[in-house]
Amino acid sequence: MLQNLKGLLQINSTNADAGLIIPEAPLGTGINDAINFMLDLGSRFGFETKNCDGYCGYIEMGSGAEMVGILTHVDTVPVGDGWSFPPFDLTIEGDKAFGRGTIDDKGPTMVALYAMKALADKGTLLNKRVRLIIGGDEEGDEWHCMNRYKATEEPPTYAFSPDSGYPAIYAEKGILSISLEKDLDPSTPVMGFFSGSQINTVPDYAKAIISDKVFESTGKPAHASQPQEGVNAMLILAEELKNMGLNHPFLDLVGMATREGFNIDFEDEISGKLTLNPSIANVNRDKAVLKCDIRYPVTMTGSEIGQQIAKAVEPLGFSIKINHDLAPLHMDKESYLINSLQKVYEEYTGDTTGPKVIGGGTYARAFDNAVAFGGRFPEEPNTCHQTNEFWSIESMRKNFDIMTKALENLVR
């Protein structure tokens, strides 16, 4: 499995930067190559496979009217700087397997396929089909892959996405992507300010150019659903420039880009506090743009959040544009799917803390009767979207055991 994971990691399938875009590879040749790598492996295992026009693909085993889906993806976020290991390869040091995608989500994709192989090798009687659905646009805003799948392919009866963690996840916060924009007056001091490349990542580098002088700052990347785990280079540089006495509306905006400053310090009893990540900055002589990633409570709507922010930034002359609003997911804790998955997890680990809520977004939102289940254990660090991303080999083994047992239960 590790050898095949190495081959998958060696394919550069960076979202929005995956090589040439051609009709058979609308998301980039790298993403299509990664999908085909998995399909070829599934075919060698004796399973049925299909590439859905380069957007996604699936690997299927068994027979029956109903189908259990496993929802994964093989696109990744950009690599960034500062790696100690080759990002597009598998490097093993002790119990750690390093490489972009090891935990998000190429590693879990490979583990899922081997769990299916384990069922086939055991000759487990399947009353339902199992279909590993592999997307290529999870790290983008639009999820073109799942849109393509749902337009022409059969939806799963039940599904889970091993693209998050344990225990079973019964709710995912809403995800709001916004742009705050302002046309700059000719009297505004000229400043170039650039930071971030991915909306769902804490930016680890920022640069400003003022009177031909360059100012830079560095931080620590993290997943936007947990901005407290990173260090936002944009915020550091903006504060430094303000302290130097530079007066610019963009710096004022970044200074108020907090839950309190935007008047969106919301929470609910189900999913907890809203999180805000200023992700991308682009400022030139004529225009200033700040893009933010917001994860909001399941009892709220994206439009409510947007209205609050619009009022807050209006005095600075900025307007708001909602680029993408992914509605929250909330499933009954006592549902068949949650109970089935949670039982396997509890029996394997002894952890009885119960199902949980996350700020991340998984493909579970794309289908009915789908939840996130699998990936990281509660005690494991979250290296998704970070420099030197890694996954513990012991965790891979445990995930394999849990996923195999979960499939056995769901296909009965």
Active site residue 183: no
Please provide the DSSP assignment of 190-253 as one string.
P-EEEE-S-TTB---EEEEEETTEEEEEE-B--BTT-GGGSB-HHHHHHHHHHHTT---HHHHH
Q: At a CB cut-off of 8 Å and minimum separation 6, what does 69 contact?
A: 131, 132, 133, 155, 156, 157, 158, 159, 160, 367, 370
- DSSP assignment, residue 23? T
Distance CA 384, CA 222 (A): 7
Rg of the chain over Cα atoms, rounded to whole angstroms, equals 22
* 75 included as an active-site residue: yes
Side chain identity, residue 390: F
Tell me which DSSP letter residue 189 carries.
Answer: P
Q: In DSSP terms, which residues pair with 167 in a beta bridge?
A: none
- The structure tokens listed for 285 are 């002589």
Q: Parallel, antiparallel, or unpaired: how do β-strands 56-61 and 48-52 relate?
A: antiparallel
In single-letter form, the type of residue at position 311 comes to K
Reference 324, options 224, 219, 194; nearest CA is 224
Q: Do the Cβ atoms of 77 and 222 come closer than 8 Å? A: no
Which of the following is catalytic: 75, 105, 204, 325?
A: 75
The encoded tokens of residue 211 equal 């009177």
Catalytic residue among 33, 104, 137, 138: 138
Indicate left, alpha or beta for 160 from its phi (over 0: left) and psi (-120 to 50: alpha). Answer: beta
Alpha-carbon span 348 to 363, nearest angstrom: 25
The β-bridge relationship of strands 356-358 and 169-172 is parallel
Residue 374 burial (CB count, 10 A) = 28
User: With 0-12 CB in 10 A as exposed, 13-18 as middle and 19+ as buried, what is 125?
Assistant: exposed
Question: What residues are annotated to the active site?
Answer: 75, 138
